[in-house]
Amino acid sequence: MWSRFISRRVLQLIPVLLGVSFIVFLTMHLTPGDPVEHMLGQAGRVSQQQVDELRSYYGLDRSFAVQYWVFLSHAASGDFGISYSHQGRPVASIIRERSPATIELTLFAFLLALVLAIPAGVIASLRPQGAFDRIATVSALIGISLPGFWLGIVLMILFGLRLHWLPISGRIALGMAPETITGLAAVDALLTGNAPAFWSALRHLTLPGLVLAAPMAAMVMRMLRSSMIGVLEQDYVQFARAKGLPETMVVGKHALRNALIPTINIVALQTGLLLSGNMIIETVFRYPGLGKLAVDAIGAADYPLVQAVVLIYAGSYVLLNLGADILHAVLDPTVRPT
Amino acid sequence: MTQTLLDDQLIGTTAATAPGLLRLLARNRAALVAAAVIAAFLLMAAVAPMLASHDPNQQRSESIRVPPVWQAGGSPRFPLGTDALGRDLLSRIVYGARVSITLGVIVVLLTMIVGTGLGLLAGYFGGWFDAFVSRIVDVLLAFPFLIFALAIMAATGPSLTALVLALAFKGWVDFYRVVRGDVLAARGAAYVTAARGLGASTAHIIFREILPNVVPPIIVVATLRMATIIIAEASLSFLGIGVPPSIPAWGTMVSDGRADIATAWWIATLPGLAILLLVLSVNLFGEGLRDALDPRMSL
């Protein structure tokens, strides 16, 4: 039953990813600038023969359909071709190198958003229109109205340049990088028992993580608050209260569990938005992850790299939604597969 | 709770009319203040040349990085100070409102027309057309919007047309989904069956019977989309691939100030305040509208 439900959902992803890959490939190829000319731009004078050789080396002399097919079949086996802008390194290896930083930042922002949003949403729902609720609601509205790049700069000025509390760029202090195990600096530092490195990694994550988490925290808090308010009026919650259960039990177990169900979709949607937020935030904080890589690659007309990053973003986005649907089915018996 | 009940009763009776809507909105003080702020921004954009004391692009090598007037070294000639090229910040912020608002309105109108049109057709006719458009929507939803916009802008170079297309690329989906859902529900409603029974044409049913009923949610989505578009445009301009650099835009101005945050904080922060104020007001107003027009969608 579950395996059919999940495999059907996984199969539905294939046309979506094919569509995404086609649109990306098409856009990249409508670009007027020739990547070879771009590459040779700084190299000075080169002969037509050299240009032709480079074009055939990168397969740019073949037809659109052939290039797309080559791209797709290679991508399916994890080969995204060779980057134009990173001294001819394979795209896959650049991405492997940069992914852990982005995964770490995204995970950190994700946890931060939930840690802020869930208690705030629950407390706000207990006394709607109370003082806490008003403060939380106004903060949430500001949270979704703040341009991330600007909030990043303001926090950099305040906490980095004025108060000197937190670093304003990079992943970890110079020379402090822990031994690589997972690639996530803070996790590796914990695993190797390297407290100073852990502290440094955490401090570097704080500002970009906070900026990235702000809109998600706001949206999740609002959704949870309104769904908690609805749930707290339900009969079974009243009944749990009437049974004499302590209020923490009523709210924490009976109400929260049910209020979380509609919240899961917002969490998935917002986690997807964390991915695009990455590009801005990593650029602002000069954080060496995939988002900054993508922005730089676009500037350098590095098609293979851009294509690969977009596909990875789209793929993770789609998988996130799949995960949310499955979790939804697990928690909510009414949408369970039969 | 009583508030909601009251609102529901009002929806049934008066909200459908403009005066009823105004009355509902008038009870929402925050939305009223927001409307006033939006009106001020609109006015500012309209009369920018009269309001700005300087040419927003005029560079002055003799007065670069002049602080705002309330800081030591500030000058009443440049109330909000100047940037690294000696351009007057206040004039640039005033002109920047034109860019944000004009682009926001164009993109929202464009996506509204496309999304509503497709939503009406897909919802009413269903079948292969609905299936086809819904698949496209699935693909678009899987796209991180920003990276796609980045790719388009990088491919075409900064131009306003490309920017509008990049911003509109995915935005119609929200209108499509809301309209399609409502039309699906309306298709079997008594008033549609009645119109059909009276021999009304399909076009008449879609545009004269169903469309007026989906206008309230469309207005709400349009307002809230406006806020998103303003931030998206500013983000692209911040990354240097939005509005062409010759036009003063808020996102570009924040980016211009990045190099100087240690010495001249005002260059990057003040234009961002304008974005925040406008977006916050649009969101507040949009949510006020939503509570008044379409309480089902309220959070």
Is A28 domain-assigned? no
> What distance in Å separates residue A222's CA from the closest CA in chain B?
7
CATH number for the domain that contains residue A151:
1.10.3720.10
* Per-residue model confidence as pLDDT tens digits over A20-57: 888 878 877 776 656 676 666 655 567 777 777 877 77
- Mutate one of B174, B285, B299 to test the A interface: name it (highest A CB count within 10 A): B299
Return the residue matching tokens 């023969």.
A49
Q: Residue A147: pLDDT above 80?
A: yes
Is A26 domain-assigned? no
Q: Do A161 and B272 touch (CB under 8 A)?
A: no
Is A33 domain-assigned? no
Is A3 domain-assigned? no
* Per-residue model confidence as pLDDT tens digits over A86-105: 887 899 999 999 999 999 99
Is A101 domain-assigned? yes
* Number of domains present in the structure of chain A: 1
Looking at every residue in chain A, the average pLDDT score rounds to 84
Give the residue numbers spanning the domain of A244: 91-335
Is A299 domain-assigned? yes
Distance, in Å, from the CA atom of A255 to the CA atom of A234, rounded to the nearest integer, reads: 9
Residue B232 touches partner A, C-beta closer than 8 Å:
no
Q: Do B235 and A283 touch (CB under 8 A)?
A: no
Options 3.30.413.10, 3.30.300.30, 3.40.50.720, 1.10.3720.10; CATH for B2-298 is: 1.10.3720.10
Is A4 domain-assigned? no
- Mutate one of A153, A282, A293 to test the B interface: name it (highest B CB count within 10 A): A153
Which pLDDT band, with edges at 50, 70 and 90, does B299 fall under?
Answer: low
Share of chain A above pLDDT 70, in %: 94
- B72-76, B114-118, B200-204: least confidently modelled range: B72-76
Q: Cβ contacts (< 8 Å) between A23 and chain B: which residues?
A: 139, 143, 148
* Per-residue model confidence as pLDDT tens digits over B263-276: 889 999 999 999 99
Residue A298 touches partner B, C-beta closer than 8 Å:
yes
Is A66 domain-assigned? no
Kindly list the domain boundaries of chain B, sorted by start residue: 2-298
Q: Cβ contacts (< 8 Å) between B170 and chain A: which residues?
A: none
